[in-house]
Amino acid sequence: MTALAPPLVEDVEAEATPRGGVRVLVERARRVFPGSGVVLDGVDLDVAAGAFVALLGPSGCGKSTLLRLVAGLDQADGGAVRLVPEDGAERPRIAYVFQDAHLLPWRDVLDNAALPLELAGVPKDERRNAARAALGQVGLGDAAARYPAELSGGMKMRVSLARALVTRPNILLLDEPFAALDELTRQRLDDQLRALWLDLGMTVLFVTHSNAEAAYLAERCLVLSRRPARILLDTPIDLPRERAASLRSDPRFARALGPLQEALQAGEAQS
């Protein structure tokens, strides 16, 4: 499912794809859940517009909670979250991709991808054209007439990504989107996502349990501690801008993984 902040779409046809994205400012964010206690306690984060940032941390530490606060899907109990477009847009256009593709089985791929525009009241031809373009961006231009039951897990996730892209988000939030896929499919989708980011220039926040996926995709990685989550490590990823599968066996990649692994182990060890 893709969650969007209003207004979802202004004029899909007329407006060029925005570049530059949204700056994300999280200031002393606090979130307490009854029964779970304090999950976030004074988290500060400043993400530059157009950055690709990965969030890592132990299971249950609050990664999704932080992402949901940024998306506006949940409210902080203290502190503030501000999204500041730096691409000339008046407002952030947020898209959110979950681990499950959540496609509607009775709709074909085209109409699944067009759904956010339909909900925003965009006329049929316009939204279908935009959905075709988004499907093309994820390499599914030939699958528009197929139904979810006919798709592999990787294809379903690409439809979910197209549905996110159809609104031309200037900030894209992804919560373990490829975690349920086999390793090869996951790596292919990582490549596709990275290429889309290079092409479109939106801000991306990506939650994952995989330090290798984080290092391969992102320009900057954050490792959170056990809850109440605080940022244990905030590090740039010093790897080439153009990344290909061969990078995974490059010594530079192993060097980038080291600090992430150490911080994750330190985070796991905390009680």
65 near ligand ATP, judged by CB under 6 A = yes
Element (H, E) at 268: helix 251-269
Work out how close the CB of 73 gets to ligand ATP at its nearest, in angstroms, rounded to a whole number. 10
Q: Which one among 5, 26, 39, 110 touches ligand ATP, defined by CB under 6 A?
A: 39
**Between 59 and 246, CB nearer to ligand ATP:** 59
Query: Given the DSSP bridges, would you call strands 37-47 and 22-33 parallel, antiparallel or unpaired?
Result: antiparallel
Q: Which one among 6, 7, 13, 36 touches ligand ATP, defined by CB under 6 A?
A: 36
33 near ligand ATP, judged by CB under 6 A = yes
CB 45, CB 83: distance < 8 Å: no
63 near ligand ATP, judged by CB under 6 A = yes
62 near ligand ATP, judged by CB under 6 A = yes
Q: Which one among 18, 21, 50, 57 touches ligand ATP, defined by CB under 6 A?
A: 57
**Between 66 and 134, CB nearer to ligand ATP:** 66
Q: Taking the CA of residue 252 as centre, how many other CA atoms within 13 Å lie in the half-sphere pointing to its CB?
A: 9
173 near ligand ATP, judged by CB under 6 A = no
Q: What are 220's strand-pairing partners?
A: 53, 236
101 near ligand ATP, judged by CB under 6 A = no
Residues 235, 20: Cα–Cα separation, whole Å: 21
Q: CA 189, 19, 221 angle in degrees (round to 5)?
A: 50
Work out how close the CB of 270 gets to ligand ATP at its nearest, in angstroms, rounded to a whole number. 14
Q: What are 56's strand-pairing partners?
A: 223
**Between 56 and 138, CB nearer to ligand ATP:** 56
**Between 49 and 181, CB nearer to ligand ATP:** 181
**88-100 burial code (b ≥16 CB/10 A, e <16):** ebeebbbbbbbbe
CB 156, CB 101: distance < 8 Å: yes
35 near ligand ATP, judged by CB under 6 A = yes
* Interface contacts to ligand ATP, rule CB under 6 A: 33, 35-36, 39, 57, 59-65, 227
